[in-house]
C-alpha cells in the first residue's frame, strides 16, 4: 500500500523528467510554444491523475471484491449461516489473516485466512500492473502530443483549474450532504410526530417513546405531547439571554476601551489575551460551570434565602457569556476602529469631548457592525453544547426563572443520540429534527449578522 | 485693526521631525487670510495648532505662543472644548456625521447646551443652514442623512454645522479640493459672505482661489513662513524670489 503510492509518485517524476527532456531536445531546433518544464508537468499530471483514480477505485473496491470471492470459494460452508454470523466470520478471518490468532481457529477459518492473504497479494500485483499500464499509456500519449506547436502550458493550467474547482465542490457537497441527511431523517421523524405538535407542543418528554419498543405498535396519541419543542426553545433562549447579559456589556465596554482609550501597547497585548477566552475548550468551561459556578450560585442563593437549583440556567448562561465575550469585543473593536478618523476630527473640532464623541458619533456610526457582532455571538451561543450539557439539566421546564433547571436544544440532541437507541425510534430521530431547527435558527442569525456588518462596511468604503 | 489670533515663535514637531520652524503670524479680525505653499510645507499642521487639533495626534509636539483675543489658548483659563467652540474647522474632505441633516447641524449646539427647546433648536438649524447657503436646497428633507447629499452640499453642511455654535474664527483646510468647479465657486462666494461675521483662515493650493477670496496671504515653504502681507501685494510684487517662483507656478 505504502509502496504502491511511492511507486506512483516515482513514476510521475520520471514522467516529468522524460517530458521535459524530450521538449528540451525539440527546442534545440525550434522555439517551443511553452516552457520545457510545462511539458514535464503535463506528462506528470497525465500519469498522476489516472493512476491515482485507478488506485483509489481499486482500494475502495478491494473489500467488496474480496467478500464476493470468499462467498464464492466458501459457498457450501457459508450457506448455512445467518447474515450476522457471516459478518462475524469475515471479521474473524480478516483479523486472522493479519496475524491476530488465538490458537483455537477451525480449519475452515484457517483456510479463509489463507485465501485472504492470497487474494491480497494478487490484488497488490494487480495494483502495480494497473499503475504501470496507465503510466505507459500516459507516456505514450504525451510523447505523441509533444510538438513545438503544442501549448502544454494551457493544458496544465486547465487541469490545475479543474482540480481546484473540484476541491471547492467537495466542501459544498459535504454541506449539502449534511443538510440533506438532516432533512431526510427529520421527515422520518415527522412520520411519527406531527410537525405542528413538534413545533408548538409545550411538553417535552421523549422517554414516552420507549413504549414503542415493547409493543412495536406506535401509539401516535402518546407521542403527541412527548416532543413539544417549546420548552427547549424557552430554555435555549433563557440561557442565551443570560449569556448575552454577560457578554454584551463586558464585550462592548472592553471593545470601546481597547479601540478608543487603550494605548497601543496595552491593546496589542490585551486583544489576543481576550481572544484566548474563545479558544479555551468548551468542555473546560463546562466543568468550570458545573463544579465552580453552579455551586457558588447555589450557595449564594441559599445565603440570601433563594431556592436555587444546583443545575440552574444561570450557571450555564453566565459561563457561556464569558466564553463569547471575545466574539463581541473583537468584532466590535474592529468596527469601532473602522469609523473614519475624519468623523472623530469633525466631532472634536466642534468642541466635543472624547466621551461625547464616542457616545454620539462613533457608536452610532459603528452600530450596525456592533449589532452584527451581537448576532454572531448569539448564534454561537445557541449552538453551544458542551457547557449546557455539563451545567444545565436534562429537565425540560417551561420557565423563565434563571434559578430553575432548564435544558436546551443542543443538550437534548446529545441526550437523544447517546445510549443505545435504534434509529427507527422517534426518541432518536428527534435529534435530527432538533438539529434542523437549530440549523435554520443559526443560519438566519448569521445571515442577518453578516448582512448588517456588510451594510456597515459599504457605508464607508 | 484688531487681531483675532496671534501666534509667536511657533515650533511644531512630529517626533523628532520639525514641521513648523519658528513662525510668528497674526490674523486680523473679520478678514480672510489665505495660507499658501507647496504641499508638505506645514500649512495643515499650522492650521491645526490654532484650535489645538494637534492634541489628538500623540507624536505631535507644539512649542510657542498662540492666543485668541489676547488669551493664551494653552492657559488654564481656556478649556480645549471652549477653544474649539470659538474656533470652528472645515476639513479637506467633507465629513458629515452619518446622521440626519438636522442632527448634523444641531450636534454642536446640543453638546454645548445652547438650548433644550425644540423651536429654538429649529431656529438655530435654520439660520445656520441659511448662512451656509444650503437651506433652500434641503429644507424639505432635513431628516435625510447628511451623507446622502452631494459633495458640495456636504461641505456646506459642514460649514453650517461649524457656524451653528457661533464661532469667532473658522479654519478651512483646502475646503474645495474635493469639489467640482461649480461647488467650489459656491463655497468661495460663501466665504466672502461669511467674513462679515467671522475671521476666516483658509489653506488653499489654488493661487486663483487665494487671490479671489483672501485679504491677506501668507506663503509657507518647508515649514518656514517666507512672506506675508496683503493679498494684492503678494500676488503682484512679492518681496521674495521664492514667493514669486511659487505664485508664477515655477514650483509646488
Ligand atoms: N500625523 C503626522 N505624523 C507625522 N508627520 C506628519 C503628520 N502630519 C503631517 N506630517 C508631516 O509634517 C509635514 C507638514 O505636513 P502638512 O502640515 O500636512 O503639510 P501641508 O498641509 O502643507 O501639505 C510633512 O512633512 C508631513 O509629512
Ligand atoms: Mg494639508
Residues A242 and A357 in one domain: yes
Which residue lies with its CA nearest to atom 6 of ligand 1?
A: B14
Residues A236 and A112 in one domain: no
Could you give the CA distance from residue B43 to residue B220 in angstroms, rounded to a whole number? 7
Q: Among B35, B40, B223, B252, which residue has the most ligand 1 atoms within 8 Å of its CB, making it the best to mutate?
A: B40
Residue A299 touches partner B, C-beta closer than 8 Å? no
Residue B59 has pLDDT above 90, yes or no: yes
The pLDDT value given to residue A17? 86
Q: Which residue has the cell 451656509?
A: B132
pLDDT tens for B98-153 read 999 999 999 999 999 999 899 999 999 999 999 999 999 999 999 999 999 999 99
Could you tell me the distance, in angstroms and rounded to a whole number, from the CA of residue A265 to the centre of ligand 2?
29
| Order of all β-strands in the sheet with B32-36 | B87-90, B169-173, B199-203, B32-36, B216-221, B224-230
Residues A138 and A255 in one domain: no
Does the CB atom of residue B41 touch ligand 1 within 6 A?
yes
Could you give the CA distance from residue B227 to residue A264 in angstroms, rounded to a whole number? 40
pLDDT tens for B72-109 read 998 888 899 999 999 999 999 999 999 999 999 999 99
Between residues B46 and A271, the one the model is more confident about:
B46
Does the CB atom of residue B23 touch ligand 1 within 6 A?
no
Among the bound ligands, the one closest to the CA of B173: 2
**Confidence bin at A419 (pLDDT 50/70/90):** confident
Domain assignment present for A341: yes
Domain assignment present for A159: no
ipTM of the prediction: 0.95
Could you give the CA distance from residue A425 to residue B207 in angstroms, rounded to a whole number? 86
Domain assignment present for A206: no
Chain A residue with the nearest C-alpha to that of B155: A346
How many structural domains does chain A have? 2
Domain assignment present for A177: no
Q: Among B12, B42, B218, which residue has the most ligand 1 atoms within 8 Å of its CB, making it the best to mutate?
A: B42
Asked which of A66-70, A106-110, B161-165 is least confident by mean pLDDT, the reply is A106-110
- Residue that is last in its domain, among A104, A133, A149: A149
Which residue lies with its CA nearest to atom 5 of ligand 1?
A: B14
Which residue lies with its CA nearest to atom 3 of ligand 1?
A: B14
Can you read off the three cell numbers belonging to residue A225? 405531547
Q: Which residue has the cell 405538535?
A: A197
**Confidence bin at A211 (pLDDT 50/70/90):** low
Put simply, the answer to whether B111 touches A346 (Cβ < 8 Å) is no
Asked which of A63-67, A79-83, B163-167 is least confident by mean pLDDT, the reply is A79-83
Mean pLDDT of the region B171-193: 93
Mean pLDDT of the region B37-56: 94
Domain assignment present for A160: no
Residues A142 and A237 in one domain: no
**DSSP structural state of residue A207:** G
Q: Which residue has the cell 434542523?
A: A436
CATH number at residue A297: 1.10.3720.10
Which residue lies with its CA nearest to atom 27 of ligand 1?
A: B40
Could you give the CA distance from residue A342 to residue B96 in angstroms, rounded to a whole number? 9
Between residues B18 and A397, the one the model is more confident about:
B18
Does the CB atom of residue B204 touch ligand 1 within 6 A?
no
Residue B32 has pLDDT above 90, yes or no: yes
Put simply, the answer to whether A351 touches B161 (Cβ < 8 Å) is no
**Confidence bin at A43 (pLDDT 50/70/90):** confident
pLDDT tens for B204-235 read 988 999 999 999 999 999 999 999 999 999 99
Residue A215 has pLDDT above 60, yes or no: no
Could you tell me the distance, in angstroms and rounded to a whole number, from the CA of residue A257 to the centre of ligand 1?
28
Could you tell me the distance, in angstroms and rounded to a whole number, from the CA of residue B45 to the centre of ligand 2?
7
> How many Cα atoms occupy the beta-carbon half-sphere of A225 within 13 Å?
2
Domain assignment present for A220: no
Evaluate whether A383 touches A349 at the Cβ level (below 8 Å). no
The dihedrals phi and psi of B171, each to the nearest 5 degrees, come to -95, 135
What residues make up the domain containing A138?
Answer: 2-149
Between residues A106 and B187, the one the model is more confident about:
B187
Residue A231 has pLDDT above 70, yes or no: yes
With residue A41 as reference, give the H or E element that holds it.
helix A36-73
Could you give the CA distance from residue B133 to residue B155 in angstroms, rounded to a whole number? 11
Mean pLDDT of the region A52-78: 83
Could you give the CA distance from residue B136 to residue B124 in angstroms, rounded to a whole number? 15
Q: Which residues of B touch A262 (CB under 8 A)?
A: none
Q: State chain A's mean pLDDT as an integer.
A: 85
Evaluate whether B161 touches A349 at the Cβ level (below 8 Å). no
Could you tell me the distance, in angstroms and rounded to a whole number, from the CA of residue A335 to the centre of ligand 2?
27
Put simply, the answer to whether A361 touches B158 (Cβ < 8 Å) is no
Asked which of A359-368, A398-407, B5-14, B17-26 is least confident by mean pLDDT, the reply is A398-407
List B18's β-bridge partners, or say none: B13
Q: Please report the atom of ligand 1 found closest to the CA of residue B173.
A: 21
Does the CB atom of residue B241 touch ligand 1 within 6 A?
no
Which residue lies with its CA nearest to atom 14 of ligand 1?
A: B42
Residues A136 and A239 in one domain: no
Residues A127 and A260 in one domain: no
Residue A277 has pLDDT above 90, yes or no: no
The pLDDT value given to residue A458? 64
Chain A residue with the nearest C-alpha to that of B108: A350
pTM, rounded to two decimals: 0.75
**Confidence bin at A209 (pLDDT 50/70/90):** low
Q: How far B90 CA sits from the closest chain A CA (Å)? A: 8
- Residue that is last in its domain, among A149, A184, A210: A149
Residues A449 and A328 in one domain: yes
Put simply, the answer to whether B158 touches A346 (Cβ < 8 Å) is yes
Put simply, the answer to whether B111 touches A356 (Cβ < 8 Å) is yes
Could you tell me the distance, in angstroms and rounded to a whole number, from the CA of residue B221 to the centre of ligand 1?
13
Can you read off the three cell numbers belonging to residue A263? 494605548
Residue A343 touches partner B, C-beta closer than 8 Å? yes
pLDDT tens for A340-375 read 999 999 999 999 999 999 999 999 999 888 988 998
Residues A139 and A268 in one domain: no
Q: Angle of helix A107-145 relative to helix A83-97, nearest 10 degrees?
A: 70
Torsion of CA B231, B236, B242, B246, to 10 degrees: 80
Query: Is the dihedral angle over the CA atoms A293, A295, A301, A304 positive or is it negative?
Result: negative
Residues A134 and A243 in one domain: no
Residue A1 has pLDDT above 70, yes or no: no
Chain A residue with the nearest C-alpha to that of B96: A343
Could you give the CA distance from residue A321 to residue A108 in angstroms, rounded to a whole number? 62
Domain assignment present for A282: yes
**Confidence bin at A99 (pLDDT 50/70/90):** confident
Does the CB atom of residue B44 touch ligand 1 within 6 A?
yes
Could you tell me the distance, in angstroms and rounded to a whole number, from the CA of residue B50 to the centre of ligand 1?
15
Instruction: Output the 3-class SS for chain B.
Output: CCEEEEEEEEEEEECCEEEEEEEEEEEECCCEEEEECCCCCCHHHHHHHHCCHHHHCCCEEEEEEEEECCEECCCCCCCHHHHHHHEEEECCCCCCCCCEHHHHHHHHHHHCCCCCCHHHHHHHHHHHHHHCCCHHHHCCCCCCEHHHCCHHHHHHHHHHHHHCCCCCEEEEECCCCCCCHHHHHHHHHHHHHHCCCCEEEEECCCHHHHHHHCCEEEEEECCEEEEEEEHHHHHHCCCCHHHHHHHCCCCC
Residue A214 has pLDDT above 60, yes or no: no
Residues A298 and A445 in one domain: yes
- Residue that is last in its domain, among A100, A122, A149: A149
Q: Which residues of B touch A347 (CB under 8 A)?
A: 97, 107
CB contact burial B123-160 (16+ within 10 A = b; e otherwise): ebbbebbebbbbbebbeeebeebbbebeebbbbbbbbb
Residues A139 and A7 in one domain: yes
Between residues A66 and B96, the one the model is more confident about:
B96
Domain assignment present for A142: yes
Tell me which range, A122-131, A445-454, B120-129, is most confidently predicted by mean pLDDT: B120-129
Nearest of A446, A436, A308, A318 to residue A387 by alpha carbon = A318
**Confidence bin at A421 (pLDDT 50/70/90):** low
The pLDDT value given to residue A461? 52
Q: Please report the atom of ligand 1 found closest to the CA of residue B41.
A: 22
The pLDDT value given to residue A392? 80
Amino acid at each position: 500500500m505504502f509502496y504502491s503510492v511511492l511507486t506512483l509518485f516515482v513514476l510521475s517524476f520520471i514522467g516529468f523528467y522524460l517530458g521535459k527532456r524530450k521538449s528540451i531536445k525539440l527546442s534545440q531546433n525550434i522555439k517551443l510554444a511553452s516552457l520545457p518544464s510545462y511539458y514535464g508537468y503535463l506528462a506528470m499530471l497525465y500519469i498522476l491523475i489516472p493512476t491515482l483514480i485507478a488506485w483509489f477505485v481499486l482500494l475502495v473496491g478491494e473489500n467488496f471484491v474480496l467478500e464476493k470471492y470468499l462467498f464464492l470459494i466458501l459457498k457450501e460452508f457459508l450457506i448455512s449461516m445467518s447474515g450476522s454470523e457471516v459478518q462475524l466470520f469475515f471479521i474473524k478471518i480478516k483479523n486472522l489473516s493479519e496475524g491476530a490468532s488465538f490458537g483455537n481457529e477451525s480449519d475452515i477459518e484457517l483456510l479463509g485466512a489463507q485465501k485472504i492473504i492470497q487474494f491480497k497479494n494478487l490484488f497488490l500485483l494487480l495494483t502495480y500492473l494497473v499503475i504501470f499500464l496507465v503510466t505507459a499509456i500516459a507516456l505514450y500519449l504525451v510523447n505523441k502530443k509533444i510538438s513545438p506547436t503544442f501549448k502544454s502550458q494551457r493544458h496544465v493550467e486547465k487541469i490545475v483549474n479543474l482540480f481546484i474547482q473540484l476541491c471547492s465542490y467537495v466542501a459544498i457537497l459535504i454541506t449539502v450532504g449534511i443538510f440533506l441527511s438532516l432533512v431526510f431523517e427529520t421527515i422520518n421523524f415527522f412520520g411519527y410526530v406531527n410537525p405542528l405538535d413538534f413545533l408548538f407542543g409545550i411538553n417535552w418528554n421523549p422517554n414516552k417513546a420507549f413504549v414503542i419498543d415493547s409493543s412495536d405498535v406506535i401509539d401516535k396519541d402518546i407521542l403527541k405531547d412527548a416532543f413539544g419543542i417549546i420548552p427547549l426553545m424557552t430554555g435555549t433562549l433563557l440561557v442565551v439571554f443570560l449569556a448575552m447579559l454577560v457578554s454584551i456589556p463586558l464585550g462592548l465596554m472592553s471593545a470601546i476601551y481597547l479601540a478608543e482609550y487603550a494605548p497601543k501597547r496595552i491593546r496589542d497585548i490585551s486583544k489576543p489575551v481576550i481572544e484566548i477566552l474563545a479558544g479555551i475548550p468548551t468542555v473546560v468551561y463546562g466543568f468550570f460551570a458545573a463544579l465552580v459556578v453552579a455551586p457558588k450560585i447555589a450557595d449564594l442563593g441559599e445565603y440570601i434565602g433563594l431556592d436555587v437549583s444546583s443545575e440552574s440556567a444561570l450557571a450555564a448562561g453566565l459561563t457561556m457569556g464569558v466564553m463569547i465575550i471575545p466574539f463581541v469585543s473583537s468584532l466590535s473593536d474592529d468596527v469601532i476602529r473602522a469609523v473614519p478618523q475624519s468623523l472623530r476630527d469633525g466631532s472634536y473640532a466642534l468642541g466635543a469631548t472624547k466621551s461625547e464623541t464616542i457616545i454620539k458619533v462613533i457608536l452610532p456610526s459603528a452600530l450596525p457592525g456592533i449589532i452584527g457582532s451581537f448576532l454572531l455571538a448569539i448564534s454561537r451561543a445557541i449552538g453551544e453544547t458542551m457547557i449546557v450539557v455539563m451545567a444545565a439539566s436534562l429537565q425540560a421546564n417551561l420557565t423563565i426563572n434563571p434559578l430553575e433547571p432548564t435544558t436546551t436544544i443542543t443538550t437534548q440532541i446529545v441526550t437523544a443520540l447517546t445510549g443505545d437507541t435504534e434509529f427507527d425510534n422517534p426518541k432518536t430521530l428527534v435529534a435530527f429534527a432538533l438539529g434542523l431547527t437549530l440549523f435554520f435558527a443559526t443560519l438566519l442569525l448569521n445571515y442577518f449578522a453578516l448582512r448588517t456588518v456588510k451594510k456597515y462596511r459599504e457605508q464607508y468604503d | 485693526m484688531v487681531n483675532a489670533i496671534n501666534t509667536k515663535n511657533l515650533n511644531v514637531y512630529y517626533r523628532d521631525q520639525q514641521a513648523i520652524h519658528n513662525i510668528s503670524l497674526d490674523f486680523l479680525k473679520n478678514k480672510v487670510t489665505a495660507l499658501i505653499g507647496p504641499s508638505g510645507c506645514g500649512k495643515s499642521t499650522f492650521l491645526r495648532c490654532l484650535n489645538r487639533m494637534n492634541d489628538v495626534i500623540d507624536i505631535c509636539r507644539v512649542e510657542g505662543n498662540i492666543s485668541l483675543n489676547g488669551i493664551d489658548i494653552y492657559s488654564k483659563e481656556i478649556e480645549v472644548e471652549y477653544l474649539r467652540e470659538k474656533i470652528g474647522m472645515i476639513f479637506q474632505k467633507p465629513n458629515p456625521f452619518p446622521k440626519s441633516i438636522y442632527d448634523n447641524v444641531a450636534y454642536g449646539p446640543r453638546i454645548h447646551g445652547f438650548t433644550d427647546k425644540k423651536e429654538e433648536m429649529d431656529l438655530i438649524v435654520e439660520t445656520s443652514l441659511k448662512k451656509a447657503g444650503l437651506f433652500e436646497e434641503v429644507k424639505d428633507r432635513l431628516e435625510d442623512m447628511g451623507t446622502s447629499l452631494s459633495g458640495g452640499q456636504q461641505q456646506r453642511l459642514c460649514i453650517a454645522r461649524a457656524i451653528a455654535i457661533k464661532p469667532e474664527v473658522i479654519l478651512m483646510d483646502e475646503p474645495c479640493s474635493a469639489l467640482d468647479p461649480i461647488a467650489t465657486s459656491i463655497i468661495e462666494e460663501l466665504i466672502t459672505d461669511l467674513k462679515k461675521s467671522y475671521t476666516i483662515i483658509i489653506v488653499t493650493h489654488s493661487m486663483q482661489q487665494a487671490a479671489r477670496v483672501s485679504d491677506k496671504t501668507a506663503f509657507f515653504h518647508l515649514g518656514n513662513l517666507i512672506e506675508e502681507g496683503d493679498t494684492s501685494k503678494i500676488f503682484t510684487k512679492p518681496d521674495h524670489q521664492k514667493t514669486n517662483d511659487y505664485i508664477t507656478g515655477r514650483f509646488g
